[in-house]
Structure 1
Amino acid sequence: MNTNKRKRELVTEFSPMIEKPHPMLKLWILVLSVIIAIGLYAFYLQFTQGHQITGMRDNVVWGVYIINFIFFVGLSYSGAFISGILHFFNTPWKSSVTRIVEIITVLSIIVGPIFILLCIGRLDRLYYLFMYPRIQSPITWDIIAIITDLVGCFIYLFLTFVPDFAILRDTPDLKVPNWRKKLYRFLAINYRDTDSQRQRLHKITRIMSKMVIAMAIVAYTVLAWIFSLTLQPGWNSTIFAPDFIFSGLYSGVGVIIIIMFLIRKYFKLEKYIVQSHFVMAGIVLLVLSLLFGYFTFSDYFAKWFSHKPADINLLNTLFGRYFWQFILANYIGVLVPLFILSIKKIRTIKSITFAAVVAVLGLWLNRYLIVVPTLETPYVPIQDTRPEYLHYTATWIEWALSFAGVAAFILFFLLIMRLVPIISISETIQHERGQNSKQDESYNY
């Protein structure tokens, strides 16, 4: 295979994605920017008027923000774990999906911690966490774990981008602004795709793939410990760490399937993202739905069987005020994907994507039921009996900031797609080179 010729062909094929944006892409960027602007206005109101304009009160001190934080950090952990596994085992079909997974990983670990800042009432004292940390506090562990995970994932993402930056740098007829050509030249760090450079980069990437897997597990385990090491009913559980890990994978695989479907449809990449990718991801989602369902059942069964008054009060709250949310999160969110993905005949691209959407929504609602009902049933109730102090209802401020976070995630994803092809050129060439060598060996044999 003529590698240089194949590089030019792939650049020509993917260049419309980075040279001239699709009209719908401009519309999406405008819509997302408006949503973010509304979120910034909501943040201004919250910053100037305080948390009194949110639904958080003395009982429920956490709300939608912490749920979004858990969800995005779990998404980052899942992306890091899956990307690391794909690179470490050099999976043949990784060239089409690995960049999607890597971008999800970094953007999630950037957007997620922002929601923690929204929970803090005095942002002007944020630097105290860094100046006077207490190693006895799981919050300090979480800060260290998230910062370490962010740095590691960013380095890992950059290493996987380097070969494509070099290819774009060496394409003279690429119709992009001069500043972007200079940016490609700078980010390529003098990479020339020689045998020694390729082997060195491959070795470093494999080492980083092992590290990001370990860092992701540590980061999400520490996040689970923030809950399980407290005495709150519903949180003081020994299975929270593995439960959070598998639930993070469950949501991560679901989001990856959804993004694969959208990119495949709107960017006409049916040649690279094929049905087998969805089938394999669907099987993984099927296994994770079984594990997620098992951990959820074990958690609630242990609470019910213990007959502790605090746990019984929590279950009464779940089956009373939050009955339909409980059904949607823990039955519909598990059984529907399980039913769709377990039947081979109905395992199509659209049905797998639908199952992924149900799984992601169910998982988010499950995180909501972990946080809010527990805080509404404390050991010692507060004196104030006003409904807004006893029960939590998110205000438009919280929803605006939540949607702004999701919009920022999507917007950054689209902007990265404008910078570099969403299908890795270097990984595609490497995959094709491996296939050709196998065919040659088979022919010689």
Structure 2
Amino acid sequence: MATKQPINDPMIDPRTGEYAVIAPGHNFKSVTQKIAGLVLTGNTPLAWFGGLVFAGGIASLVVVALTWLVLKGVGIWGVTMPGAWGFAIINFVWWIGIGHAGTLISAILLLFKQTWRNSINRFAEAMTIFAVVCAGMFPLIHVGRPWLGYWLFPYPNTMNVWPQWRSPLAWDVFAVSTYATISIVFWYIGMIPDFGTLRDRATLPLARYFYGMLSLGWRGSTRHWIRYETASLLLAGLSTPLVLSVHTVISFDFAVAALAGWHTTIFPPYFVAGAVYSGFAMVLTLAIPIRKWYHMEDLVTERHLDNMAKVMLATGSIVAYGYGMEVFMSWYSASHWEFFMMWNRMFGPLGWGYWMLILTNIAIPLTTLWSRKLRVNVTWLFILSIIVNIGMWFERFVIVVTSLYRDYLPSSWGTYRATKWDYMLFIGTWGLFTCLFLLFVRFLPIIPMSEIRMMLPQTKITRGGPTAETVSEEMS
């Protein structure tokens, strides 16, 4: 028999008996001051400058690696025959997967009216865009002639030379560009009410002009709120299929190849679940330090951490099922090539990578996330999120490398060893991602003020958003 939660729990709403989305004690003014104050403050912490300089130094590795790549060619990488795919494709798939949580939180949870998303959706969407920026460079430079990358688009030309539509590379271009476009528009539309608040509260003329331009004349009228809600729902409806389609298309990079370990129908759902898994792990990696550094424990509560850990548990279980099916089908298919591929993946020269991904993606997360005590343990969740992202990178490494370096002909077998330029480019993208995220944290609202304020008990909600009384309270 189910028991009721104790009413003296500070996170229990006494009116409904359910967990509150944010900690009690907030009103319109306190939410606005807390979030807008991080952006409009004139005292930028020295730690922020230190982090930006450090991240910028690491990001400079991208410039060095790309410059040398253009001068010397892809031969500076560890790619060889038959292992013609290496770090570039591994990192591309990994970074695209990182961004999936932002779209899921923004679109699907919005359509399902999950209010707990409101405290984390803004930086999850920012994470999506920055991850796509890091991912987008890899297919472009992997083709060997990045200055001819525009050939992948169906641009009008007099020679009637069109992209090869049967190539997954062309599919990637359209899938990723569509994904990036919708994500940016969704992210920006969601910030328009907050830009209006920052414009009205800014004291510096440059800040008022900057945020005023971004707010597009937002005044918080009923007409504006109706259009805002309509646009948000339309974009959520457009974004929802992208959660499934983008990583499905990327999985076709492998699944359409007649190669043992790749030619399998489980790849699309398996890749999508893995992308959401790693994406939510990255949200935790970012949310926990932000929550601590900016004292946002009352806005990003234990409930948010618990729910994100539950999503990781669900998607991690799907990923574990995918691993199991790969092993089962390699045996059940009675294919000599499939059986050898799996044996080589487990016990071959790079078998350590397979057992590393089993340890980090299944053994550690799926044995600890069943415990609520560990799901709300901030320190453990932060460590676990890093472990999962390491494991998901190893998953892509195993998929790409182990099916290529030992294919059908033993006479063409080789090996794969990444070079210093591979590592420089990968580590450099981490610096680029961190640099962009630090700029976002400093100059844009990291938590949506408008959505948080709508959840406050004293807010009177109408079809067009908060009523004039609550808006005037905020502006006072």
**Structure 1 length-normalised TM:** 0.90
Residue 377 (structure 1) aligns with: 406
Matched, 1:181 2:208: yes
Matched with 2:397 is 368
Amino acid at match of 1:265: K
Residue identity opposite 2:450 in structure 1? S
Residue in 2 aligned with 1:12? Answer: 33
- In structure 1, stretches of 5+ residues that fail to align are 439-445
Q: What whole-Å deviation, never above 9, does each CA across 1:136-156 have from its counterpart, x for those lacking one?
A: 222222211111111111111
Native 8 Å contact 1:234 1:311 kept in 2: yes
1:323 is matched with which residue?
A: 351
Alignment of 1:208-247 (within 5 A): 208-247=235-274
Look up the equivalent residue of 1:70 and give its one-letter code.
V
**Aligned-residue RMSD, C-alpha:** 2.1
d(CA) in 1 for partners of 2:124, 2:456 = 21
| One of 162, 167, 189 as aligned partner of 2:192 | 162
Corresponding position of 1:401: 425
- Looking at structure 1, the residues matched to 49 and 228 of structure 2 have their Cα atoms a distance apart, in angstroms, of 35
Match of 2:180? 150
The verdict on how the C-alpha distance between 1:420 and 1:124 changes in structure 2, with shifts beyond 3 A counting, is: closer
Which of 103, 121, 132 is residue 98 of structure 1 equivalent to? Answer: 121
Q: CA deviation at 1:322?
A: 2.1
Distance 1:219 1:378 in 2: 28
Matched residue, 2:78: 55
Structure 1 position 26 matched with structure 2 position 49: yes
Q: CA deviation at 1:203?
A: 1.4
Which residue, out of 282, 287, 305, partners 1:278?
305
Residue 9 of structure 1: how far off its partner (Å): 3.8
CA contact (8 A) 1:75 1:249 kept: yes
Would the aligned equivalents of 2:200 and 2:208 in 1 still touch at CA under 8 Å? no
For residues 202 and 206 of structure 2, what CA distance do their matches in structure 1 show? 14
Q: From 293, 297, 305, give the equivalent of 2:332.
A: 305
Per-residue deviation, 1:405: 0.9
> Normalized per residue, which structure has more helix?
1
Q: Quickly say closer, same or farther: Cα 1:200–1:436, change in 2 above 3 A.
A: closer
Shift of 1:437: 6.9
Per the TM alignment, residue 10 of structure 1 is displaced from its structure 2 partner at its CA by 3.4
Q: Specify whether residues 65 and 180 from structure 1 end up closer, same or farther in structure 2 by C-alpha distance, changes over 3 A only.
A: farther
CA distance 1:31–1:236, change in 2 (3 Å):
same
Query: How far is 1:304 from its partner?
Result: 3.1
Q: 1:375 deviation in Å?
A: 0.9
Choose the corresponding residue for 2:455, options 428, 431, 443.
431
Aligned length: 426
Report the alpha carbon displacement of residue 397 of structure 1 after superposing the two structures with TM: 0.7
The residue type paired with residue 402 of structure 1 is F
Counterparts of 2:91 and 2:197 in 1: how far apart (Å)?
37
Instruction: Tell me if structure 2 keeps the 8 A contact 1:7–1:167.
Output: no
> In the alignment, what sits opposite 2:472?
none
The question of whether the paired residues in 2 share the 8 Å contact of 1:55 and 1:395 is answered with: yes
Q: Summarize the Cα distance change of 1:52–1:78 in structure 2 as closer, same or farther, 3 Å threshold.
A: same
Aligned AA (2:92) = F
* Alpha carbons 1:149, 1:215 under 8 Å: kept: yes
Question: What amino acid does structure 2 have at the position aligned with 1:13?
Answer: K
What percent identity do the matched residue pairs reach?
24
CA contact (8 A) 1:341 1:352 kept: no
Offset at 1:75?
Answer: 2.1
What is aligned with 1:134?
164
Report Cα offsets for 1:339-380 as digits up to 9, x if no partner. 111123333222222222222211111111000111101223
C-alpha offsets along residues 33-54 of structure 1, whole Å, 9 cap, x if unaligned?
1111122112111211112221
1:442 — aligned with what?
Answer: none
> What is the CA distance between 1:224 and its match in structure 2?
0.9
- CA shift, 1:118, in A, is 2.6
Instruction: Determine the C-alpha separation between the residues in 1 that align with 2:171 and 2:265.
Output: 18
Rounded to whole Å, the distance in 2 between the matches of 1:378 and 1:435 is 63
Aligned to 1:257: 284
Would the aligned equivalents of 2:106 and 2:121 in 1 still touch at CA under 8 Å? Answer: yes
Alpha carbons of structure 1 residues 15 and 203: separation in structure 2 relative to 1, 3 Å: closer
CA distance in 2 between counterparts of 1:166 and 1:237 reads 50
SS in 2 for 1:170: helix
